[in-house]
Structure 1
Amino acid sequence: MKTYTLYSWNVNGLRAISSKEVLPGVLFPGLPAHENIDILCIQETKADAHSLKPDITRIPDYFFYINPAERKGYSGVAMYSRTEPESIELGGLSPEFDSEGRIITARFPEFVLMNVYFPNGGASDERLAFKLRFYDAFLEKIKTMDAAGERIIFCGDVNTAHKPIDLARPKENELVSGFLPIEREWIDRVIAAGFYDSFRLFSDEGNQYSWWDYKSRARTRNVGWRIDYFFVNTAAKPFITGAGIRNDIMGSDHCPVTLTLEFP
């Protein structure tokens, strides 16, 4: 059997997280040394390869890939993998979106993994419109891949809580980007297209969050939002053996979410 343990984590700055002595890490401080992580997907790196120290980009036994934004210190995604992918694609939606370094697609023999940092729509009406255009373009891309018979996994900071159970204070946030009806409806469309919120395949519990506001010290009170996901399509679903939220791992305003797979 071939097994994979996948982690997805918005680190709110790769250089910042790598300097925090939170826990002894197998990749960098924050990730427990005993974790057998096969693939780590990171969002909001805020860095390019040239600005990172070699001890971050050249970790023994891991291949490293990064897709930075053109704007310095902004956005970006990265991936560590014990297995060398068959191919890597950076971006792939359109120049409008690809300039912000929001997607890495890695093809493995068993599946295609897309690491995505979806836009935040809270800054302005223009950014909300940008987020919704990104959502639409991404959904069309994965629907095309699904129709071609690919086993698809996509993960990352989706920047939207799907249901009232997915945030601590749904009533107070009905008019806030990240819980707007039009944003939540996009996740409905993803599910209608044959994709599954992997965490909800294993848990229907509330009070399970992956992001907490730093300024209000919300994490100590668990006043959070579940906005980080692993989605799988119907072709990949039979191979999923577990999904979780690692809210015990500190170092960012997000915590990692996880997925485990097993292939014959």
Structure 2
Amino acid sequence: MNFVSWNVNGLRAVLKKNFSEVFEKLDADFFCIQETKLQEGQVELDLPGYHQYWNYAERKGYSGTAIFTKHEPQSVSYGIQNSEFDHEGRVITLEYASFYLVCCYSPNSQPKLKRLDFRMGFEDAFLNYLNALKEKKPVIMCGDLNVAHEEIDLKNPKTNHKNAGFSNEERSCMTRLLENGYLDTFRFFHPDETGIYSWWSYRFNARKNNAGWRIDYFIVSESLKDSLENAEILTDIMGSDHCPVLLETADLKI
């Protein structure tokens, strides 16, 4: 099975570029997107053979997630069942016979960390949500988590130490997540690899110079370790300021 996650930074924009081409080329069983930046009815995607699930933010042109899958789930839920955080369209969960698939777009702490308190509240609530799922069956969680975990995960760690996405608080939350029985699948397969990123600023020729951050992930329950086959970051795919990330597993019971 193959899973793809991609922050498209505005689905309408990337539809005018290469979304259809990328979607067809990757031929994923599960294709998760973040930052759709649209409301219901603003686009109609013709994706034969795929079921579509959308979570829209109340605020227009902001946030939003979607999952397109060849496999109809047993159940679907939107958000993390917490009214403080469920108005921004950040989470979708699909339930299958042997696992949950969770698509997440974590809040950005913003310049000067002005939204860090909101982000920390989300982190606590989201971890509780994931752990409640994991008590029932394994979890595959993906998305733009808006944090580079270790210095190896961004080009310029020293100058970004207290910036959004690389603050001590955000990095500690990622450490705590992994300590709760989850694996960072890219690091599972590439523990020491450097210079592989999933997001680059549109400024300063960042992508050309590969001055990037690895902030897009597939995180899975440790119990799925033996089912993992590959995890990659598809740095050659353009269209957004992020590139897609890929997870390949053995066939899982649907």
Into which bin does the TM-score normalised by the smaller protein fall? over 0.9
Give 2:176's match in structure 1, choosing from 164, 186, 189: 189
Once structures 1 and 2 are overlaid, which stretch shifts more, 233-242 or 204-213?
Answer: 233-242
1:118-157 → structure 2 map (5 Å cutoff): 118-123=106-111, 125-146=113-134, 148-157=135-144
Q: Is the 8 A contact 1:90 1:103 kept in 2?
A: yes
| RMSD, aligned CA | 1.4
The alpha carbon displacement at 1:91 in A equals 0.7
3-state SS of the aligned residue for 1:165? Answer: helix
After superposition, give the CA deviation of every residue in 1:155-203 in whole Å (9 maximum; x if it has no partner).
0000000000000000010010110111101111011101000001101
After superposition, give the CA deviation of every residue in 1:218-260 in whole Å (9 maximum; x if it has no partner).
0001000000000001222221111100001000000000101
Give 2:94's match in structure 1, choosing from 89, 106, 117: 106
Contiguous gaps of at least 5 residues in structure 1: none
The alpha carbon displacement at 1:92 in A equals 2.4
Q: Alignment identity in percent? A: 44
* Over 6 Å off, 4+ runs: none
Q: How many residues are aligned here? A: 251
Give 2:16's match in structure 1, choosing from 16, 19, 25: 19
After superposition, give the CA deviation of every residue in 1:127-177 in whole Å (9 maximum; x if it has no partner).
11111110111011112222x241101100000000000000000100101
Q: Tell me what 2:39 maps to.
A: 48
Residues 217/93 of structure 1: CA separation in 2 closer, same or farther (3 Å cut): farther
> Does 2:161 correspond to 1:174?
yes
Q: Is the 8 A contact 2:80 2:125 kept in 1?
A: no
What amino acid is aligned across from residue 94 of structure 2 in structure 1?
A
1:42-121 → structure 2 map (5 Å cutoff): 42-52=33-43, 54=44, 56=45, 58-121=46-109
How many Å separate the matches in 2 of 1:235 and 1:149?
12
Contiguous gaps of at least 5 residues in structure 2: none
After superposition, give the CA deviation of every residue in 1:53-81 in whole Å (9 maximum; x if it has no partner).
x2x2x311111111000000000000100
Q: Tell me what 1:8 maps to.
A: 5
How many Å separate the matches in 1 of 2:177 and 2:162?
22
TM-score w.r.t. structure 1 length?
0.91
What amino acid is aligned across from residue 183 of structure 1 in structure 2?
E
> Does 2:186 correspond to 1:199?
yes
Q: Is the 8 A contact 1:150 1:235 kept in 2?
A: no
How many Å separate the matches in 1 of 2:116 and 2:12?
28
Residues 32/42 of structure 1: CA separation in 2 closer, same or farther (3 Å cut): closer
